[in-house]
Chains A and B, each alone.
Chain A
Amino acid sequence: MKVIEVNNLVKQYNGAKSPSVDGVSFSVDNGEFFAFLGPNGAGKTTTISILTTTLSTTSGEARIAGFDVDKDARRVRERIGIISQKPSLDKSLTAEENIRFHAALYGLYGYRPSFKLMPKAYKEQVTQLAEIVGIQDALFRPVKKLSGGMQRKLEIIRSLVHTPDVLFLDEPTQGLDAVSRRMLWDYINDVRNRYGTTIFLTTHYIDEAENVDKVCIINHGKIAFCATPDAMKRQIAYDPAPRVCLPSLEDAYVEFLNRDKGAA
């Protein structure tokens, strides 16, 4: 079953001369791990903003779990979670207050004025999540006093508190150290295995997309390529000498973009 369907999506920002997303179509199956790759300014964040109902479309349509992102925004919102490229934390609240606020907006727990007063299940859940990503010591500190990577980890656990069906990750590992990156991916894989969560990933660390089910490359607002990572590597056999093994996805990706530039 298709959980994300995008049809001829166009987005031209107000006052912009040309569309940032220009007739994009693709689909993602339920439970799939999907990578949406492309250079800076290609239109990845724009597409994600439309899919997560925070940006209007110029034309075309997009559906999540069969619901139109424009007409049925609430149903879409009930099913999604996002780690956006630009942090969306309240910096004056503590880390835990940010999570508590999130949990209240999703109706999981009513907001109570202090952590101590929250139900036991909530307290356990938050403590456990913080331990998984290693920010348990920072939980009660104001967000503005946390490092960039710690803030990122906070956003990661916050986005998963309400178990979304589809999780959008817009460069989730930017600013994370190598150990944390690995830990994050272990955690996300764990979530996928347990809940069958569909993952929509954009990243500039192409190696993170090595094991995805499907890759789409967007360039200048248009879909340039959609395939499995293996198919992509095979197709972009840029090395004329016979190779024993396939190139890395990053090699294939860079080669592809170079050719795309040559063609344009």
Chain B
Amino acid sequence: MEITVKTTVIGTVGDVKKPSRVFREISTIWAIVCREVSVAFKSPGTLIMSLAMPLVMMGMIGGNLTQNMADGLNFDFGMFMLVGMMINMLFMATSQGVATLVDDHEDNFSEEMLIAPVSRYAIVIGKICGSAFSAVVTMLGTLIVGAVMGITLSFGQFLSILALSPLICLAAGSLAMLFIGLIKNRKAANLAVMLIIMPQMFLSGAIIPIGNSSGLLWVISRMLPMTYCLDLTRAVVYAGTPEYGAVTLFNPLVSITGTICITVVCLTVGTFFYARSEKDR
């Protein structure tokens, strides 16, 4: 039998000090995040798109709603919609980022990740956190478009949304995983992203208040993670203002619990199906 004493020779590193498992998982998540960020910088097209998207979503859809819908509400609609649109953009951009797992599959780069001795969760979480980068850029774009329209947040309100954005992106990415995990084709993935985002935009209260929803729409709104993310964000942004009661649905504790529970379930199920669909061919 060979005795394998491994040292650093001819440039190859040996496993003299075996990296710990926790280090490797964190290292993996971080490496995937860095990869996503550097890929984003290398394709300026994507970055420009993530700034152009708010122009359409916030500028056109939001602007139109503000001009035509704001009457008769007992709170400032512009601010309500700006916050909703920022969260909506986080959801949209994160889902689009997660959908690039399909590109990795087509380019066979997923093999490089799947063959590594790391947890499948690390791969998926890395992808989601990496997508969060472009998502935050898109969110900042929304903020700028909002400012141009005369809708502004205080610096404190902005910071609190920024602080919540990792949790929101995780929720968004986990939901996307539920669908993307099973999809192996680019076109279908793009379609899936639209199917996830569009209904949520209207049913979760991003741009239209859902305080009066009932029946099936009420049930669906309670199943969407964005409903809880939005409510949590609004609870923080509107804390201590007279409008608080009019713009929020739940106690913030309910929102946090709802967000975390749905995220954990989606992430677990999504990752399981992703790993299985990559392997069971």
Contacts and interface: CB of A to CB of B under 8 A. Distances in A.
Interface string B153-197: 000000000000000000000000000000000000000000000
Nearest to B7: A194
A89 B109 contact: yes
Interface residues of B, number: 43
A54 B12 contact: no
B117 A74 contact: yes
A101 B11 contact: no
Contacts, number: 133
Given A54-B279, A101-B35, A190 B19 contact: no
B281 A105 contact: no
A105 B27 contact: yes
Contact of B4 (A93, A128, A165): A165
B279 to A, nearest CB: 5
Nearest to B113: A105
A166 B264 CA distance: 36
Contacts of A101: 31, 35, 112
A92 B35 CA distance: 10
Contacts of A160: 12
A196 B2 contact: yes
Contacts of A126: 11
A78 interface: yes
B108 A97 contact: no
Contacts of B15: 162-163
B274 to A, nearest CB: 13
B11 A132 contact: yes
| A: contact size bracket | 35 or more
A27 interface: no
A30 interface: yes
Most buried by B among A75, A100, A194: A194
A52 interface: yes
Interface stretch (B38-46, B73-81, B83-91): B38-46
A84 B110 CA distance: 12
A220 to B, nearest CB: 20
Given A129-B12, A132-B10, 12 more contacts: A77-B117, A88-B109, A88-B111, A90-B35, A105-B31, A106-B24, A111-B31, A113-B34, A113-B38, A125-B11, A161-B12, A196-B2
Interface of A: 1, 13-14, 30-31, 52-56, 74-75, 77-78, 80, 82, 84, 86-93, 97, 100-102, 104-108, 110-111, 113, 121, 124-126, 128-129, 132, 142, 160-163, 165, 190-191, 194-196
